[in-house]
Structure formats: C-alpha cells, structure tokens
Structure 1
Amino acid sequence: MTGTVQTAAAAAVASAPGGPPGRWEADARARAARLETLLGDPYEPANPHGLRALFDADGRRTPPPETEALLDEEGWAAEFVPAAYGGRLTRADLLARALRPVFRRDVALGFGHGITSMFATGAVWAAGDERLRHEVAALLLGGGRATILHHELAHANAILRDEFTARPAPGGGHRLYGRKDVVINASRADAHVVYARTDAARGPRSHSVFLLDPARAAPGTMRHLPRVETSGMRGALFSGLEFEGRDVPGDTLVGGLGDGVALALRTFQVNRSVICGVVTAAADTVLHSAVRAATTGRCGPVARRWHKPLTGVFADLLACDAMATVALRALGLLPGRAHVCAAAVKYVVPDLLREDLEELAAVLGGRGYDLDSPEYGALDKLVRDLPVAGLGHAGTASCQAVIVPQLRTLAETAWFAEEEPPPELFRPGAELPALDYRTLGIAGGGDFMAASLAGSAARLAAGRAVGGQIGALAELAEAFVAELRALRETCRTLPAYGSRGLADPAVCVLSDRYSLLVGAAAVLGVWEGQDGTDPFLADPAWAVLALSRLGARLGVPVPDLPDGCVRQVLDELIRRYRSGLGCDLDATVLAQ
C-alpha cells in the first residue's frame, strides 16, 4: 500500500464536501441525486447501467465493467473516507443515503465495488494511528480497494474462531499463518485488514488487527486460492487467501495487541446499520416491479387480492427505513449507547425483507424470475443475493451475541427507568454530530429505544378514546409496552451467565421479542418526529399498518385496521410508482 495524503487534516476538514454540519445533508442528497441520474433509468434496455446490463453481468459472473468505471470516475470510494482525511464521510445515515442508488440496482455491485472497503477500513478509523489513517485515505481516494479477513462472524457465534494466527517473529513483529476460502475481492484488493489470533488463550484479548499490503508479501508467504462461485452475488469476486509465514511488521498493527475482538464489536455496529439502510433500496426495486405487474394492462383499480401484499410490503419498507435511520443516527448522536440498537435492527430488517420478497413473489408470479425482463426480474436476483450478502457482515447469531448477554441488566436497570433520547434522533433534517468510530461503545449505555417506546405510548394514551387511526396507533403502542413489561419480568429471572445463554434456544427467542420492540419504537419515534412536510408520513395510516404487522409477528394484541387505512397506503404507493418516487421515508426521486 503506497501513497500519502498531501493536505493536512485541518485543511481537509475545511475543503471536504459538506463543509459545516448544516450542509452535510444537502450535500449528501445532491450526491445521491447525481449518482441516481448518472446511473439512469434502470428499466431502459439500452442503458449500460440498467438492470438488463446488470443481469447480464450477473449471468456471466463478472462485475459490470462500465458501471464500475462510472463509480470510479465519481470517486465513490470517497464516501467511506472521513471528511477529516479528504473524503465525504460525515454521518452514517447520510452515507447510507449516498450508497442507495447503487444498491437499488445491484447488491453485488454495492458490496463488490465499495462497501467491503468500508467493512475493512472501519478498524483503522476506530484505532489506527495517523500514519495508517492517511495511508488508507490515500488508497481509497486514489481508487484502491480494501478487503477484510476476519473470523467467522457471519455464520455462528464464533467471534473467537481462529482462521488466522499471527505468531511472534524473531527480531520483532509477527508471522501470519492460516487460510480463508471465501473472501470478497481477495484477488483485487490493494489492502488486507486481517483479524488474526495473537494469543492462544480464549478470551476478549485473543485477536489483533493488521493492515497489510498484498504487494509486499515475500514470495511463498501468501497464496491466492481459486475463485469460489456462489449462488447469489454472482458478479462479486470471491476467492481465498492462504498465509504461510508472512512477515507482519509491528507498524502494521491497528490499535493495540489484543484489540481485535473489541474493534470488531465497535465497527460491526456501523456495518450492520449501513447494510440495513441500503438493502431496503434493493427491495424497493422489487416492490416497484410488483406494482407494475399489478397495474399494467388494467383500466380500473388494483385487484383487491393484491392490496394486502402491496401495502403490507410498503409499510414494512418504511418500517425498515425507520429502524435503519434511527440506528444510523444513533451512531453519531449516542455513540456510546448505540450497539444494542444496531444489533436489534440488523436482527429484524433481513427477516422482514425475506418475508416481503415471498409476498411479492405471489404478485409477480413467474415474471419475477425472468432475468430477461428488467421490468420484473429483480426479484430473482435479490432472493439469491441477500443470503450471500451475509458473508460480508455479522449475521443473526452475532447479533444475538450482542443482545442476549445484556437482557438481564437492561431489565433490571434500564427499562422504564431511564430518560428518552434526544428528539433529534427521530426528527427529519435535524443537525447531528459526525460519525466518529473512536467513540463507539460496546457494552452498557442503557436502552434509549425502550425509553422512547414507553414515552410514545404515554403521549398517545389519550388517543385511545378518539378511535380511528389515532386510536389504533395508541392501542398498538400500549400493546408493545405491555410486551416490554412482560419481557422485563422474564429477563429478570435469567441466570447471570452472560453469553452462555446463547446455547439456550429459549433465551435466544428473547432477542427476537426484544428486537421487534426496538422496531416498533423506531416506527413510533419516526412518526412522532414528522413536521408535516410530508402529509402521508405525518398521517398515522402507514405507522398503524407497519406496527400491526410487527405486532402480528410478535404475537401481541393487534386491533382491526381502521377504515381507509389500507386504501390510504395503497393510494400513496400507486402515486409514488407513477411519479417515479422511492418507497422510503425520503420518497426519493428515481431516474426514469
């Protein structure tokens, strides 16, 4: 890894895109809009960046070269570099917004061409010294890539699994041994961020992180393994790496010796939240396809049998966006307390999206699996891509590993006992602090989402007598609070065995219940935070439908949907489809 940043950090701050905090959001929106325009109409057959071209590249199992070149020309990798080092990264929620135009079209492209570099370099922004930070910034800003080689966080509670071992070397430094067979961009990364075991003893100080330049490996000490073909994300380049005594100098250590597990826990909460914030855009594309299928060739209204799946999925996507947005904002506003929220959101959102794709499959029928049809084939690709995308970030089990050990403490000390979070957490357009990886916490910090849920229910309580949609919203809020009370009583009885509870399925189910409560709190908070600028979001219909679906999954009492609720949501969905607007909280203007 070579290159240096020519400007000092202070000068980079002054010249970085976005300038002062008040302009960060406007700049991020402008960048996202520009990229959306450059990528063009995804349904235009002749568009080199459209779905047909992306489907074709997927069929050939190659990255789409023209679109990768476009992203390079736009300096897309700068989104992952903090503004203090010459990049565009300010807030995590704005990062997700800037990435969505790519993920809306191709999850594999989003992973393979960019977000993997974010996974890898997070440890450097969290604990690297100034030299390493400048080197990484120069690498990414110059168009380079980084990849992450970590223990199997994504597939089991194996945060301490030792696929790589770094042993002390004579004369200082370490020598690296071990292999990993499936690494995205292993063959074309300019930097490897390696999580390796440096202490034979099991424990939180067992692993360390090293930033390595593959070009500097001595002959015979690093071997590239063959490419691995996957069922999904077929255009991403997965292959393996094997280290056979590669020298690892002391100046490649990120943070301190033994910091690896803590760095994984700190940085993966960013990864989890960003993933949730961007994959929802891919599901948005499938929902648009389903609306097209339900409306094309019809003179009258949408057939009644499609009302429930279409409106239900739309409400779910708004709920997923609310959850991800809250988690992303919390990373900057409440960095020492965001880890449980991030894990809960990552726990819920993928499950909702998988269920949503099943519902949309019923609307699309066989057309959803026709990759020769850019208007409808996005379903097939996303169904295949989402499970494989789990290789790039912490999976369900590692989210449980964050949540379960804290449930008893939260029940005893936090639930119904702490103050609500600042209203800026939920307020659109609020100015928030920048993301600073160094301030992210990994334990303790209470539970601001539970406090928000209780506060929302208390404010809505009087609405139960009003009836209608407000009355239904108040009933739903109280039902979720009652579930939190019941969960508190159960969790107070848990043994104080920490992570050992992950071996007990009955205990793991508690993380299910808790995570859905966090989702409900996010929906209520976002609805309460509306300023009326968007009449649809300010109206309770979408929140009632979203909470009803969350409540049904949780098994809490769900009132009948008020008259007109589904119709309002359906009308808005059709309006957005016909106007070329996204099904997110921003109603993003889409290229047509």
Structure 2
Amino acid sequence: MSVVERERAAAAAAYGPPLPGARPGGAVPPAERLVRARVAEWERRLGDPGDPANPAGFRALMAADERAELAAGAVAVLRDGGFGAELVPVELGGRLDRADVLARVLRPVFRRDVSLGFGHGITSLFAAAAVWAAGDGPQRDRLARLLLAGRPVAIAHHQLAHGNAMWQGQFTAEPDGDGYRLRGRKDVVINAGRAGAVVVYAATGGPGGSHSVLLVDPDRAGDGLAVLPRRISTGLRGCHFAGLEFTDLAVPPGARVGGPGEGVRLALRTFQLNRSLIPALVLAAADTVLRAAVRAGTGAAGRPAGPRQRALLAGVFADLLLSDATATAVLRALHLLPDSAHLGAAAVKYLVPDLLQEDVEELSTVLGAAGYDREGGPGSLQKLLRDLPAAGLGHVGTAACQAVLIPQLPLLARRSWFRAAEPPAALYAFAEPLPPLDLGALAVAGGTDFLTATLAGAAARLAGRPPGGPLGDRLATLAGALADELADLRDRCLALPADTAEALASPTWCAQVERYALLAAAGAVLGAWEAAAPDGGFLADPAWAVLALTRLGRRLGLPVGPPPEECVRRLHAELLDRLAGGRSYDLYDTPLAEGGAG
C-alpha cells in the first residue's frame, strides 16, 4: 500500500470517506456535459505534462523557457486543435459564449505554463475584446478569421501613470480626412512582431485628452510601422515582447472601433473580462504547485505528512477554492449583472493574484527550491514565481483596481451595503447555463455590490438556522463576524473624507480596499457553499468554507482563532483523494491528463 493509500485509509477511519456527489456524472445539466467534454478534449490534446516525451509537457516547456521561447510543440498542439476558436464568439464561427466556461477551457493551458497561456492565448482575446464589444461587421469578421486561423492579435494599451513598461508610451491619432495619421511608440507590446492585427488605443485630443481605438493591419502598414527589437522580460520569458513605432501611418476610414473618443470607456468595459479571467486562470498554475506539494507531502521516503504540512496544504487548498468561487461568480456576473460586474472584477483582480503568490511561496517550504514538477527539472518553481507577478501586471494591476474601487466605496457604504438585494441564485449555480456574453452592455460605474450582499444575506440565514454540528456553528459564527466587519467598514467609509481626489488617494482609503476585497471574497465563499448544500458532495461540506473564511478572518485581523482540526483533516483527505484520482484542486474537480498519484 502506497503512502497516499495509507493516508486516505487513515482519514476514512477517522471520519469516513470523502463525501459523494462532487464527481463527474449524476444529474448533470446537458450544457455542463458539453463543457466537461470540451475541457477533457484539451486535457487529452495537451497530454500528461509529466511525460518527458510530451511536446507540451513540463520538460519541453521548461527547456523552451530557458531559451526564452514558447515550446513549439505545445503551440502546435493549440494551433492544430483550433485553440483560436475559443476566443471567437459563437456567432462569428468560434466557441466563445460564456466567460466562466472560457476560464475552464483555458485552465489546461495555464496548468502547464502561464507563459503559454499568455503568449499563445488570452492576450489575443484582450485585444479582440474591444472589437467584440463595439466593432462593426467587417472588423469583427476580420479578427475572427485571424484568430480562427491561429494568428495572434496584439493590443497597444493607452498610457497609465506609474505604469510598468507595458503601459508606458503613447500613440496619437490626428484626424486626416475620413481617417487618421497615427504616430507614437511603445517599447513593450506582446506579440508585436507576430500579430495579424494590432488594436491601438490612441490619444485623439478633445476634452480630457480622449482616446479612440484603431484596428491596424501591420501587413499593410509599410514604412509607417516599425517593429522594434525584442525585449526579454523577467517573467513570462517565453512571450515575445517587442516595441511598435508608428510614423505618420495613414489609418484608413473604417479602422476606428466604436465612436470617436470612446477608447477609455471601451477599455473600462473590456477590462472587466480581463480582470475576472486572469485570477480564474492563474489559480490553475497554483493548482499544479499544490499537486506537487501534496505528492511531496505524502513522503517519497514513506513518511506521511506531519500536522504542520497538512495544515499548510489544506489552507492553500481552501484559498484555491475561495479564489475559484470569487472569480467564477464575477465571470458569471458579466452575464447576469452587467451593471455591477465592474466592482467584482476589480475586487477579484486586486485580491487573488497576490493571494496565490503568497500561497505558492508557502508551498515552496514543502517543495524546496528545486522545482515543482516531475520532469521539468530544477527552476520550475522559480519560473512560476517570476510569471505570476507579470501575469497580474504587478503594481500597475493593483493600482488600476484601487482606482476603480476607491471612488465607489463611499457610494457603496451609503447606498448598497446591507441595502442591496441579493444576486440571483444563478450567479452561484456554476453548472447552469447563462445568457450570451455582451461586452458592450457592461457598465463602468454605479450598480450594487452583489458579493457583499451575499455575505449579509448568508450571515442572516446562518444566524437563524445554522447547519448541524460543530462546523455548522463555526460557519455561522464566522459569517456573523465577517458581516459585522462589513458594517464596521461601512461606518469607516462614511466617516472618512471623500470630497477630493487627494483624499481618496490616501493610504487610508487604500487600506479600506484591502478589507473590502477580503469581505467580497467571503461573500463568494458563502454563496458557493449555499448553492452546493442541497446537492451534497464535498462542496456541501462546511469544512472548506469554514477553513476559507477562517483564513480570510485572520487576514482581516479578526479574533477567529486557529482553523478547526476537523477542517484540516477533511480538506487534506480530499487533497489525497484527488491526487490519487488525478483530479483538479478547484471547484470543478476536473479529471486531468496526468492521471493519479503514481
């Protein structure tokens, strides 16, 4: 009997086998069966990442990273499998219809390599999103053809104050008849020299220095466009970053996406998809590290994990479930609550990448410095620790989310917290279908706070009827304490000066954003647990929610005490069960191509 089998048997003897019902099969909605089939097909195509002969495996991916390239074999798998169709709306011949499904379909790529996911994946979607939201028929058709053929699309963002290299540099577009003259330079644009189209955010003047979005064809730019030398970055080394310089490029009529001066508004709409999607994808990379740590924690020398290791592993697992619950709820809100999704998108992007970065660093104490995979060789853990900050855009990503949330907090304190209606049940019914995604319908301000409305509603229900058993009582107590913290946050936001931009930019308001994001995540945890409770299964067990909320409470500085040992035991047993069965460490418990513990 292996160490994993012995630990699973000991856990079963202590409190019974893992709860049934959270496994593939059973009464699964037809739409969910199709989604699972799509995810399984990409797992199959990408193959066992631990197989040293796999061109999309860890060994090939790490070797390519050392050359500062994407693994050619992995890129071929994606291209030959029609990966570009995942980024194209259904009505244009692709498969993109739901934001939450897109995250699940892309996770097999990010589980293997964050650089691959960005370099041959979602940056093309981020570029195309403005065209999907506001482009005309010919523009949409053109980008759809490019992506379906496997060609990337690049995005040249507008300049942000205090931004990193990707956000520095500016383009200007001067009206020239019915078109524009495009000028300017940016030194860091992903896939700048490989793109079949470039979506450019260019300053076009007007009040406040407005921007417009231009769709540029580099193949027809001639001398008006120069691709500058490649820059190899510290994180996402395999991605091709280079500069673009436009010199009096004549942009023809029909190249502008949306109306004149609508660039910033389009960015604020489409960034909601970007901000929600990135956390939902990088957690797949953390899943891989956690899997390696659980494998290492079973004791290659035959020694089972000790209490401290079990607590660490279970805690990181709870954080992954928390992150998935929050990201998935926000992705579904893009469909169901388009007037309010901007709040959740900023909160999840603010919180989850840094949370997962901390978790991966914690897991390094189990794995050591050598790496996290079976066949990738030394340095793979360091690679991920370089990639994660780049994936989250580092300081500029945090600052951009703060810029969205801080002006909203005083309004939410006055109008939304403890007043807003709870969101529809479909928000947390993660296996249920959704209306089509309409990026053009997303609001950029206002709305209500659906995540904290869930927190307040769930806390009230649990106070009136807590689940049975000690963990049920603990869950009710935690929910009440977090709802009290929301009330305290409301009082603070009402008392703080918010009458000037300088006041809102103060460190005090930045601290309130931190507390708000943690409380929003608590709402998502409770919403996901309540939605799962009637169906049974692992997610219906209060253990994961109690551990996740305990960790949130400790981050908030609340006197919640240590996590109950029962929670640690239950989550650690689930970790072992999923390791042995080769299943993912997210909400969906997905079968993986790499198989079991081995």
TM-score, with normalisation over the residues of structure 2? 0.90
In structure 1, what is the Cα distance between the partners aligned to 2:532 and 2:468? 20
In structure 2, what is the Cα distance between the partners aligned to 1:149 and 1:239? 11
In structure 2, what is the Cα distance between the partners aligned to 1:398 and 1:585? 28
In structure 1, what is the Cα distance between the partners aligned to 2:478 and 2:208? 45
How far residue 463 of structure 1 moved from its aligned partner, in angstroms, is 5.2
Structure 1 residue 132 corresponds to structure 2 residue 132:
no
In structure 1, what is the Cα distance between the partners aligned to 2:540 and 2:374? 40
In structure 2, what is the Cα distance between the partners aligned to 1:217 and 1:159? 22
How far residue 560 of structure 1 moved from its aligned partner, in angstroms, is 4.1
Q: How does 1:333-412 map to 2 (within 5 A)?
A: 333-368=336-371, 373-374=375-376, 378-391=380-393, 395-412=397-414
Q: Deviations over 1:353-374 (max 9, x none)?
A: 01101110111112227x8943
> Which shows bigger deviation, 505-514 or 148-157?
148-157
How far residue 291 of structure 1 moved from its aligned partner, in angstroms, is 1.1
Partner residue in 2 for 1:120: 127
Q: Summarize the Cα distance change of 1:80–1:67 in structure 2 as closer, same or farther, 3 Å threshold.
A: same
In structure 1, what is the Cα distance between the partners aligned to 2:308 and 2:166? 45
How far residue 499 of structure 1 moved from its aligned partner, in angstroms, is 5.0
Q: Summarize the Cα distance change of 1:269–1:500 in structure 2 as closer, same or farther, 3 Å threshold.
A: farther
Partner residue in 1 for 2:215: 211
Structure 1 residue 490 corresponds to structure 2 residue 492:
yes
Structure 1 residue 565 corresponds to structure 2 residue 567:
yes
SS at match of 1:183: strand
In structure 2, what is the Cα distance between the partners aligned to 1:152 and 1:63? 28
Partner residue in 2 for 1:74: 81
How far residue 395 of structure 1 moved from its aligned partner, in angstroms, is 0.5
Q: How does 1:311-322 map to 2 (within 5 A)?
A: 311-322=314-325
Q: Summarize the Cα distance change of 1:392–1:567 in structure 2 as closer, same or farther, 3 Å threshold.
A: closer
- One of 170, 191, 199 as aligned partner of 2:197: 191
Partner residue in 2 for 1:302: 305
Q: Summarize the Cα distance change of 1:534–1:163 in structure 2 as closer, same or farther, 3 Å threshold.
A: farther
In structure 2, what is the Cα distance between the partners aligned to 1:392 and 1:299? 40
SS at match of 1:229: coil
Q: Summarize the Cα distance change of 1:50–1:153 in structure 2 as closer, same or farther, 3 Å threshold.
A: farther
How far residue 156 of structure 1 moved from its aligned partner, in angstroms, is 4.2
Which amino acid is the alignment partner of residue 274 of structure 1?
L
In structure 2, what is the Cα distance between the partners aligned to 1:158 and 1:452? 38
Q: How does 1:54-65 map to 2 (within 5 A)?
A: 54-65=61-72
RMSD, aligned α-carbons: 2.3
SS at match of 2:429: coil
How far residue 138 of structure 1 moved from its aligned partner, in angstroms, is 1.6
Q: Answer whether contact 1:364 1:376 (CA < 8 A) is retained.
A: no
In structure 1, what is the Cα distance between the partners aligned to 2:460 and 2:182? 56
SS at match of 1:383: helix
Q: Deviations over 1:37-63 (max 9, x none)?
A: 111111111111110010000011111
Which amino acid is the alignment partner of residue 363 of structure 1?
V
How far residue 276 of structure 1 moved from its aligned partner, in angstroms, is 1.0
Is there any run of 5+ residues in structure 2 with no aligned partner, and where?
A: 1-28
Q: Deviations over 1:426-457 (max 9, x none)?
A: 11322221211111111111111121110000
How far residue 534 of structure 1 moved from its aligned partner, in angstroms, is 5.4
Is there any run of 5+ residues in structure 1 with no aligned partner, and where?
A: 1-21
In structure 2, what is the Cα distance between the partners aligned to 1:465 and 1:234? 49
> Which shows bigger deviation, 537-546 or 491-500?
491-500
In structure 1, what is the Cα distance between the partners aligned to 2:312 and 2:493? 35
SS at match of 2:232: coil
Q: Summarize the Cα distance change of 1:303–1:400 in structure 2 as closer, same or farther, 3 Å threshold.
A: same
In structure 2, what is the Cα distance between the partners aligned to 1:344 and 1:153? 20
Q: Answer whether contact 2:201 2:213 (CA < 8 A) is retained.
A: yes
Partner residue in 1 for 2:239: 236
> Which shows bigger deviation, 470-479 or 150-159?
150-159
How far residue 31 of structure 1 moved from its aligned partner, in angstroms, is 1.4
> Which shows bigger deviation, 458-467 or 529-538?
458-467
SS at match of 1:227: coil
Q: Summarize the Cα distance change of 1:161–1:375 in structure 2 as closer, same or farther, 3 Å threshold.
A: closer
Q: Summarize the Cα distance change of 1:521–1:499 in structure 2 as closer, same or farther, 3 Å threshold.
A: farther
In structure 1, what is the Cα distance between the partners aligned to 2:326 and 2:96? 21
How far residue 245 of structure 1 moved from its aligned partner, in angstroms, is 1.1
How far residue 161 of structure 1 moved from its aligned partner, in angstroms, is 7.3
How far residue 391 of structure 1 moved from its aligned partner, in angstroms, is 4.3
- One of 143, 151, 157 as aligned partner of 1:150: 157
Q: Deviations over 1:531-575 (max 9, x none)?
A: 555521110101111111111111123144334111111111111
> Which shows bigger deviation, 422-431 or 270-279?
422-431
Structure 1 residue 326 corresponds to structure 2 residue 332:
no
How many residues of Structure 1 are paired with residues of Structure 2 in the alignment? 567
Structure 1 residue 440 corresponds to structure 2 residue 442:
yes
Q: Deviations over 1:367-424 (max 9, x none)?
A: 227x894377542221011122234997111111111111111111111112100011
Q: Summarize the Cα distance change of 1:331–1:154 in structure 2 as closer, same or farther, 3 Å threshold.
A: farther
Partner residue in 2 for 1:17: none
In structure 2, what is the Cα distance between the partners aligned to 1:71 and 1:243? 31
SS at match of 1:104: helix
How far residue 168 of structure 1 moved from its aligned partner, in angstroms, is 2.0
SS at match of 1:207: strand
- One of 218, 221, 226 as aligned partner of 1:223: 226
SS at match of 1:332: helix
In structure 1, what is the Cα distance between the partners aligned to 2:186 and 2:341? 31
Partner residue in 1 for 2:257: 254
How far residue 508 of structure 1 moved from its aligned partner, in angstroms, is 1.2
Q: Answer whether contact 1:154 1:393 (CA < 8 A) is retained.
A: no
TM-score, with normalisation over the residues of structure 1? 0.91
In percent, how many aligned pairs have the same letter?
Answer: 55
In structure 1, what is the Cα distance between the partners aligned to 2:300 and 2:217? 56
Q: Summarize the Cα distance change of 1:73–1:158 in structure 2 as closer, same or farther, 3 Å threshold.
A: closer
- One of 459, 474, 477 as aligned partner of 2:476: 474
- One of 26, 35, 38 as aligned partner of 1:28: 35
Which amino acid is the alignment partner of residue 423 of structure 1?
A
In structure 2, what is the Cα distance between the partners aligned to 1:154 and 1:88? 36
> Which shows bigger deviation, 299-308 or 113-122?
299-308
Which amino acid is the alignment partner of residue 261 of structure 2?
G
Q: Deviations over 1:292-328 (max 9, x none)?
A: 2111424353122311211111110111111111011
In structure 2, what is the Cα distance between the partners aligned to 1:333 and 1:266? 15
Structure 1 residue 180 corresponds to structure 2 residue 186:
yes
SS at match of 2:228: strand
Q: Summarize the Cα distance change of 1:155–1:106 in structure 2 as closer, same or farther, 3 Å threshold.
A: farther
How far residue 349 of structure 1 moved from its aligned partner, in angstroms, is 0.3
SS at match of 1:133: helix
Q: Answer whether contact 1:154 1:392 (CA < 8 A) is retained.
A: no
SS at match of 2:289: helix
How far residue 154 of structure 1 moved from its aligned partner, in angstroms, is 9.6
Which amino acid is the alignment partner of residue 301 of structure 1?
P
In structure 2, what is the Cα distance between the partners aligned to 1:437 and 1:459? 34
Q: Answer whether contact 2:157 2:167 (CA < 8 A) is retained.
A: no
In structure 1, what is the Cα distance between the partners aligned to 2:278 and 2:189? 18
SS at match of 1:472: helix
